[in-house]
Structure 1
Amino acid sequence: MGEGHMIDCKPDKADRVDAAGLQAFVSRIVSDHEGKEIIYLCIGTDRSTGDSLGPLVGSLLEERGVAGVMGTLRIPCDANTLPRLAKTLPDDAIIVAIDACLGRAESVGLFLASRGPLVPARSVNGGFGAIGTYSIAGVVNENSLKPYWTLQSTSLYRVMRMAGEIADAIASAVARQASQYFKSNAERMGAYE
């Protein structure tokens, strides 16, 4: 198995952030791409505690009414479905790839936020290509010599907390953008009365 995780190798373009930093990162994405389609590609499986981060985020986003979600607990975007789903992504869409990863002990519980793609299943040699316009990788556990076992024994509580932080950041950024859009339209309409 081992669907969808990368090793925390601190790519040049990635910033290691906490929940507040993640909120700022997502807010910039949403405001920079106002009016464009944004797809939240939530990579992972519901069959591994550590690798369930993506599908948990996808399910939480659906519950919050966020549009453009691919990959949930009900329909995961895992090693079996990712190649097929990747082919269906619109060429002009902004893709925010969300995945779990293993990393250094001091990074566990933090996020790698990048203005660039991530490589799913890197830690278990999954052989997938890079995906995403932007990426969020949650460091769910410490890197080890046995990444598959480490993901299986990762704290569900930690994964759920991190999934909530990602979903909250995205949902609030989307809601804030919608609120600003409606406010500016209302002001514009008021100018014509």
Structure 2
Amino acid sequence: MSGKTIVQTDNGVEGLQAFLAHVAERHPDRSRVVFLCIGTDRSTGDSFGPLVGTKLEERGWQHVFGTLKQPCDAKRFAEALEQSAERENAVIIAVDACLGKPLSVGKYITAEGPLTPGQATGARLPAVGDYSIAGVVNVSSHKPYMTLQTTSLYTVMQMAETVAELVDQAWKQASG
């Protein structure tokens, strides 16, 4: 990607919808869109990415890496990154959970540019994505693993459903 990364924080549903509409307008061909949904099914908070991936697959999106069945966790991240990069002219949208300020919980951080997975837990993974969506699933703390483990499943599931629904809406509007 060329140019400066544009990051929008504290996006509610309207901000996320506008972001996805922008991406869909620029890249209306669904067959070129690859979702890299990062996280694990073994932690409530960190299941945001795999939940989004599962919901996108259920809606018929073909190029999804990271689902509840096959999470894109730290162990599978390099493999998923390699496979997604093999898709010619692919547009990669990275999705991951993050921790944030109390008033940001339930909102999204979107960027025209990559996200760096695992920052809250100290994981050292490379930045990924032409576009990115980070779901703020809980409040930052000095014990990020514990915070992710005790995150509300209801909140994470609602956020994942919202992302999947808005992705579908954005590409349906862009194509027609």
Partner Cα separation in structure 2 for residue 67 and residue 58 of structure 1 = 10
Q: Which digits, 9 at most, give the CA deviation of each residue in 1:10-57, with x for residues without a partner?
A: xx7321211121111111101101236110111110000000000101
**What corresponds to 1:55 in structure 2?**
50
How many pairs are equivalent? 168
Tell me, in whole angstroms, the C-alpha distance in 2 between the residues paired with 1:13 and 1:107: 18
Mapped to 2, the partners of 1:38 and 1:56 lie a distance apart of: 18
Name stretches of at least 5 consecutive residues in structure 1 with no aligned partner. Answer: 1-11, 181-193
Q: Counterpart in 1 of 2:13?
A: 19
- 2:64 is aligned to 69
Structure 1 position 81 matched with structure 2 position 80: no
Tell me the secondary structure at the aligned position of residue 137 of structure 2.
strand
Contact 1:41 1:97 in 2 (8 A): yes
Between 1:34-43 and 1:159-168, the stretch displaced more is 34-43
Larger Rg: 1 or 2? 1
What residue in structure 1 maps to residue 90 of structure 2?
Answer: 93
Corresponding residue of 1:135:
132
Q: Give the Å deviation of 1:64.
A: 1.2
Give the C-alpha shift of residue 91 in structure 1. Answer: 5.5
1:99-114 matches, within 5 Å, as 99-114=96-111
After TM superposition, what 4+ stretches of structure 1 lie above 3 angstroms from structure 2?
Answer: none
Give secondary structure in 2 for the equivalent of 1:150.
helix
Q: Under a length normalisation based on structure 1, what TM-score does the superposition of the two structures give? A: 0.83
- Corresponding position: 1:31 with 2:25: yes
CA contact (8 A) 2:115 2:128 kept: yes
What is the alpha-carbon distance in structure 1 between the residues aligned to residue 80 and residue 58 of structure 2?
21
Pair 1:157 & 2:154 matched: yes
What is the aligned-residue identity percentage? 46
C-alpha distance 22-81 of structure 1, shift in aligned 2 (>3 A): same
SS of 2:95's equivalent in the other structure is: strand
Question: What SS does structure 2 have at the residue aligned with 1:124?
Answer: coil
Amino acid corresponding to residue 13 of structure 1 in structure 2: I
Deviates more, 1:65-74 or 1:49-58: 65-74
